[in-house]
C-alpha cells in the first residue's frame, strides 16, 4: 500500500512564560538588540538554560569526565525508536524492571502522559512523575540502548541515580518530550541538539517521522 511521510513535533515551545522547574532551572529570555524600523533588520539575544524545555542531557551533566553535548554521536539520536507505555497510575511511582517489555531498538521513549499536565498542573508535572529505578536504568544499558527519552521533567527523582547510570555509560537522555500520545509503538526519530562546545546539555528539536497510508485517490 502506498504511504506518505508525516512529521510529529515532540518539542516544547520555548518562550519566556514557559513552565520551568525553579529554582534548579530558569526561564528563557529573548532580548531584542536590533530593531527593524531603525536598523533594517531584527536580532535578539537568547539566554537559555542548557536544560530548557525539551533538552538533551550529555554525560558531563552528571559525570565528572563525561562527554559534552558537542561530542554526542548523531547516530545515537537519529533512527528507529521504541515507545514504551507506562500506566498513568505510575505518576509519582517508579518504572520497575518488571514493567519493561522486550527491548527491540537502541532508542527508547517512555510514554507516561505526564506532559498532558504541563500547562494545567505544572506543580504536579515537575514534582509528581514517573521515574526509572536503578535496576531499570541498568537493564537499558545492558540491552544496548543509546538514547532514553521521557515525557516528564526527569528520568529520576532527587537522590536517585538513573541519571548517573545512564550517563556513565554514554546513554544520552531526552527530557520534557511532548506529543508522545500521537505516536505508534515504533517510529523513526530525529533529535538535534545545538553542538555547544564543552556544554553539559542543550535544548533540542525533537521530531518523529511516521509513514501513513495514502488516502483513497491520493498518489
Q: Which of 55, 59, 76 is nearest to 67 (CA)?
A: 59
Helices (H), 33-189: 36-39, 74-77, 122-127, 134-142, 162-168
Q: Which of 61, 127, 128, 163 is labelled catalytic? A: 61
Active-site residue flag, 51: no
| φ and ψ at residue 127, rounded to 5 degrees | -120, -5
Report the b/e string of 98-115 with b at 16+ CB within 10 A: ebbeeeebbbbbbbbbbb
Sign of CA dihedral 181, 187, 192, 198: positive
Instruction: Check residue 106 and give left, alpha or beta (phi > 0: left; psi -120 to 50: alpha).
Output: alpha
Secondary structure element (H or E) that encloses residue 123, with its range: helix 122-127
In this structure, the number of other CB atoms found within 10 A of the CB of residue 199 comes to 16
Q: Which of 101, 110, 102 is nearest to 132 (CA)?
A: 110
Secondary structure element (H or E) that encloses residue 77, with its range: helix 74-77
Q: Supply 213's cell numbers.
A: 497510508
Active site residues: 61
Amino acid at each position: 500500500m502506498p504511504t506518505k511521510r508525516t512529521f510529529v513535533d515532540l518539542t516544547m515551545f520555548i518562550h519566556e512564560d514557559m513552565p520551568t522547574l525553579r529554582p534548579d532551572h530558569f526561564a528563557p529570555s529573548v532580548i531584542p538588540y536590533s530593531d527593524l524600523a531603525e536598523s533594517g533588520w531584527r536580532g535578539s539575544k537568547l539566554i537559555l538554560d542548557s536544560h530548557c524545555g525539551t533538552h538533551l542531557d550529555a554525560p558531563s551533566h552528571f559525570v565528572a569526565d563525561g562527554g559534552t553535548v558537542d561530542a554526542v554521536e548523531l547516530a545515537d539520536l537519529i533512527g528507529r525508536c521504541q515507545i514504551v507505555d507506562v500506566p498513568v497510575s505510575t505518576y509519582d511511582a517508579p518504572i520497575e524492571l518488571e514493567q519493561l517489555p522486550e527491548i527491540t531498538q537502541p532508542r527508547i521513549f517512555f510514554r507516561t502522559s505526564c506532559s498532558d499536565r504541563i500547562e494545567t498542573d505544572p506543580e504536579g508535572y515537575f514534582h509528581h512523575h514517573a521515574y526509572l529505578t536503578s535496576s531499570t536504568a541498568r537493564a537499558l544499558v545492558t540491552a544496548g540502548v543509546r538514547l532514553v527519552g521521557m515525557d516528564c521533567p526527569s528520568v529520576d527523582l532527587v537522590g536517585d541515580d538513573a541519571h548517573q547510570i545512564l550517563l556513565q555509560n554514554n546513554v544520552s537522555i531526552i527530557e520534557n518530550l511532548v506529543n508522545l500520545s500521537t505516536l505508534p509503538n515504533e517510529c523513526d526519530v530525529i533529535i538535534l541538539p545545538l553542538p555547544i562546545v564543552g556544554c553539559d546539555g542543550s535544548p533540542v528539536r525533537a521530531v518523529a517521522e511516521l509513514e501513513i497510508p495514502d488516502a483513497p485517490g491520493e498518489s
